[in-house]
Structure 1
């Protein structure tokens, strides 16, 4: 007789409970430790409220009972409701101040949720929690700013809008999609780059949020009206500006290219200059050489400069080429070219050039997997995709072509040694292979991704550089953490088969020894006021634990009965059981594993067909599929009977079918 199963998801609790209270850490001399969480808004103030579709800094503080900071401790972070947002990164290491930072990334939804933090000390787990709410944010969309009010035929011009938090009056400190359109663009007589994401720049120590587009004339010839539109959390705003486009005249000048469009600040190791080209044309639209063109920048903040203020168009091609050199401040700049002697004035403007570090910082580097628990332990050749993402400290994606390197624990599995960033991300494939007994943890493997970058710091005064007195993430050389515990230097560990595994490190300076944190900020954005200041780089890194789930059930995955006793014991018609989705290594079963539960029994009837015994039944759903997760999930179910006794041979059976097609089962008698 088959019945139905009611599945109730168990929530795992930390050893010393939740709540925003002190936790005990046995390895601390004082016998106690304090773990606290604080959300900081854009003004750097503590808050329990964040905005939808935003990124908010989460500050973790850890100290002993006397207030002495506890450093080099791994803190695990999570949220109760992933549909409202996520924590990235979800594990952080406390610095010498006992502090660590992560980011709460909220979605479009509003509501309330809980941030959970936990630490492991000497084999015991301790946790705390922080309640917060998410609400919609109103904003102000500025009137579109045109760098030219009159545009030559076939010319281009930059158009930008500012975005301001209507509550604080400060820059809208989150990326927002802004669309641009105009009647001429709708009619195919002009082109507008749309939609575009807003970015935040620091100008003269003040944050400013803006979205920039480029208007390219095709055949508009007259008045046009550009409309910018943005929507956030159900709130939509729009603004308009007018532009006059000249009809074809004695000649015109067109923007051709800017290579590269992302240039690096001096001292960061990237390209610090860009070549910008325009083309001069005659009345018939043919290239025209020998014409002088004057060029200017729309901003000189931080010392941005042009190598020359004028250039002559080349015979045959009509091309005009100028060079832009980066200054000392991250910003966006355009080049305006004007045909000398033209009346009325004939001008065109380049696309936006972004000036930034071009280097990833530690807080902007992460590694993720599309499947956390693949069927890797028992099967060779299965694969998952790992994706590394990197941004500089201003949130700009690192330049295309930036290299990320990978290594696996013990050299187990097959992975590409590196990938190249495109739009701030790149991916590699990890295949199951190798001797699983060489892993430190049974069925658990760490993958390490790293690239050249800089340490992260807290820019308290908003000037865009590291100053004395500001905190930072002081890091040593990167090493692969094989046993998932907090330790400051590589260890010699024992693999599953008893062999020695020495955690490998990346020898950044090539001296043949491991170097820990040096007590200095290692980055390119250092204030010149710091004595002996030298710009340095490090390896930024991210480790990801991949569960190599086995194609076999663990022992005793069914628990029956629970505290209420067996079915029909003392006449009870209801009993409880539990199922743990655990493999033979104690890890979670592979993702996409099909799990089915049923009661198998022999029902006896008399000569008249009446039941002599009464069948046991499952109440609720009887099957589910294991999701992508790194944690073992436990489920509770209910068994019932209309009357007692139940069949003597009644048993509860769990059957699993793994993605590979292999099957496994376990049972427990109900009497």
Structure 2
């Protein structure tokens, strides 16, 4: 007998316990009338769950033979959920337990970004390190699964207050932290300290077989601001034919790194260039290797004439003694100062190795950049010179400077360390640091001479010489431009004699380099025959200038027995 009205509902979940992650349980509702007989087929039964956060159930089903079946599907959250079935005015409940399957795997996902800046440099100082945890079925673990982290970094666990990096919260345990999963992912924040280096973060979770552990990829802490300790420039050519030609070019490259020698995180930093003579590109930005290059070329103005100093006056006297050359020219009149400048920090000696400047540590104090035309390390204004704050009279040329603070006057070293986080009186947290390079403009041969050593008078002479049978004479030759500097790279020098045998330096090809005077060579001419007749001879030095400049052909005559 089949009744039409529901009087009772009996619920049976199969199974009564399911795992998280979309596992299902079949809920069978047996609906009977007051007589105990099954209700009519097609009777509607509705189903609800006590918490949709834990799972979902088929909203309704109709009976067949008095039975209606619904499906419960779990979410990713463990717990207990009540399923209620209702037909008409009759309802009943059953309990389903949702459990999390054991942790099955742990993997590193990412560190974003993988390179962060040193604390206090104004760059990105935090990296989000992410791991993923899956259960034994390969599904994301339930939300709230605890993951522990241990960090290994360059300071070895130094507290943040002392410049150390840390993970998680700013507390007394900088190397450890923990977090809970969301959708299977667990994140921890790495915060940089004041020391550059590589950091790794290890994550661990428990499992039925023990503890699962894995490590992040390397995360780099670097990218402090440019440091004067790691800043220099170089040129592809040092001695250019700028006194003879305009448009001779050299590539000038700046090499920049932070106080720890890291260059790979300064990309995009602007470097400015300046030239005492000639012309140079104004600025360029650093690449991923911490370098940038510009073109320097010869043109007016040429280098400024300055006063000869000790070694140069000695050179002038020597040229007169050895070759009879009388001149007031000297090498530094051909020298050119190039400058590169970048915003950064002054150099200091990190005496305690904490990666920070501490009061009392030795610094290299910089004033504003200037063209050191006379190469004395002091800034000259045409009347006085400023040597690290010590002012004295000077007659040297005015030296242009870069007025970094726009106060209309040259400012020398300020007596305190300048850089990020500085605390000295009137210190600059962002300092224009600079570095010079000396190159040269040379020209065609202007001073060329050959002399010989008279053993009877112990003097060098440029008059005709004579060599007795079987004897020899020592010679010297010099070649210099208008400033008595050696000629540009590629210049060739060849010595020849019409009679006699030559030995010593009889040929040379000049290399590049800063000229500190003329090229000088020494050689010997020996009587090479066995007779005692006197023969006339001439010693000739043939100079072919490199880089297009003019050479010369000095010679000296004599006789050989």
TM-score tier (shorter): 0.5 to 0.7
Secondary structure of the corresponding residue to residue 363 of structure 1: helix
8 Å CA contact retained: 1:390, 1:398: no
User: Are 2:126 and 1:273 equivalent residues in the alignment?
Assistant: yes
Alignment of 1:247-286 (within 5 A): 250-266=104-120, 268-278=121-131
- Alignment counterpart, residue 350 of structure 2, candidates 439, 459, 471: 459
Show the counterpart of 2:172. none
Which residue does the alignment assign to 1:306?
167
Say yes or no: does 1:666 pair with 2:553.
Answer: yes
Q: Partners in 2 of 1:379 and 1:289 — Cα distance?
A: 77
Matched with 1:395 is 261
The answer to whether the 8 Å contact 1:265/1:330 transfers is no
Distance change >3 Å, CA 339–CA 463, structure 1 → 2: closer
Q: How does 1:331-346 map to 2 (within 5 A)?
A: 332-339=198-205, 343-346=209-212
Query: Do residues 625 (structure 1) and 509 (structure 2) align?
Result: yes
Cα offset, 1:302, TM superposition: 3.4
2:377 is equivalent to residue 516 of structure 1 = no
SS at the partner of 2:229? helix
Q: What RMSD, in angstroms, separates the aligned Cα atoms of the two structures?
A: 3.8
Q: Note the C-alpha offset of 1:448.
A: 0.2
2-side partners of 1:438 and 1:409: how far apart?
Answer: 8
Structure 1: any 5+ residue segments left out of the alignment? 1-248, 494-499, 602-614
- Contact map agreement 2:235 2:253 (CA 8 A) in 1: yes
CA distance in 2, matches of 1:628, 1:549: 11
Distance 1:286 1:589 in 2: 76
Bigger relative contact order (CA 8 A; separation at least 6): 1
> 1:371–1:636: structure 2 CA closer, same or farther, 3 Å change rule?
same
The structure 1 residue matched to 2:191, chosen from 325, 328, 350, is: 325
Cα distance change of structure 1 residues 284 and 654 upon mapping to structure 2, 3 Å threshold: farther
Partner in structure 2 of residue 374 of structure 1:
240
Q: What does the per-residue CA deviation read over 1:562-619, in whole Å, with 9 as the maximum and x for residues that have no partner?
A: 63766425668311222234223322211222222222x4xxxxxxxxxxxxx23322
Find the counterpart in structure 1 of residue 324 from structure 2: none
The 2-side partners of 1:532 and 1:340 are apart by 54
Q: What is the Cα deviation at residue 358 of structure 1? A: 0.8
Q: Structure 1 531/584 Cα, relative in aligned 2: closer, same or farther at 3 Å?
A: closer
Change in CA separation of 1:556 and 1:534 when aligned onto 2, cut-off 3 Å: closer
Q: Secondary structure at the match of 2:211?
A: coil
Q: Alpha carbons of 1:337 and 1:461: their partners in 2 closer, same or farther (altered >3 Å)?
A: closer
Partner of 2:494: 596
* Matching residue of 2:61: none
- Rounded to whole Å, the distance in 1 between the matches of 2:421 and 2:209 is 45
| TM-aligned CA distance change 1:346 to 1:577, over 3 Å | same
SS in 2 for 1:648: strand
1:652 paired with 2:545, answer no
- Look up the match of 1:297: 151
User: What is the aligned partner in structure 1 of residue 377 from structure 2?
Assistant: 486
TM-score by structure 1 length? 0.51
**CA deviation string 1:476-532 (max 9, x = no partner):** 122221221231455589xxxxxx974332223232322112222223465xxx787
Structure whose alpha-carbon radius of gyration is higher: 2
Asked if 1:471 is matched to 2:362, the reply is yes
Equivalent residue number for residue 164 of structure 1: none
Whole-angstrom distance in 2 between the partners of 1:470 and 1:564: 55
**Deviation at 1:443?**
3.3
Q: Is the 8 A contact 2:223 2:265 kept in 1?
A: no
Moved more, 276-285 or 344-353: 276-285
Q: In the alignment, which residue of structure 1 is the partner of 2:323? A: none
CA distance in 1, matches of 2:533, 2:274: 60
CA offsets, 1:106-125, max 9 Å, x none? xxxxxxxxxxxxxxxxxxxx
Q: Counterparts of 1:570 and 1:421 in 2: how far apart (Å)? A: 67
Q: Which residue of 2 aligns with 1:639?
A: 525
What's the counterpart of residue 616 of structure 1?
500
| C-alpha contact (below 8 Å) 1:477/1:538 kept by paired residues | no
Aligned residues: 394
Does residue 1:409 correspond to 2:273, yes or no?
A: no
Residue 408 of structure 1 and its aligned partner are, at CA, apart by: 0.9
Checking the alignment, whether the CA contact within 8 Å between 2:104 and 2:138 is kept in structure 1 is: no
Separation in 2 of the partners of 1:357 and 1:283? 42
Q: What are the ranges of 5 or more consecutive residues in structure 2 without an aligned counterpart?
A: 1-102, 170-176, 307-331, 385-395
CA distance in structure 2 between the partners assigned to 1:571 and 1:250 by the alignment: 101
Task: Evaluate the alpha carbon distance shift between residue 334 and residue 510 of structure 1 in structure 2; reply closer, same or farther with a 3 A threshold.
Answer: farther
1:554 correspondence with 2:446 = yes
Alignment check: 8 A CA contact 1:406 1:448 kept: yes
Specify the alignment match of 1:536 in structure 2.
429
8 A Cα contact 1:367 1:544, kept in partner: yes
Q: Per the alignment, do residues 278 and 513 of structure 1 end up closer, same or farther by CA in structure 2, a change over 3 Å counting? A: farther
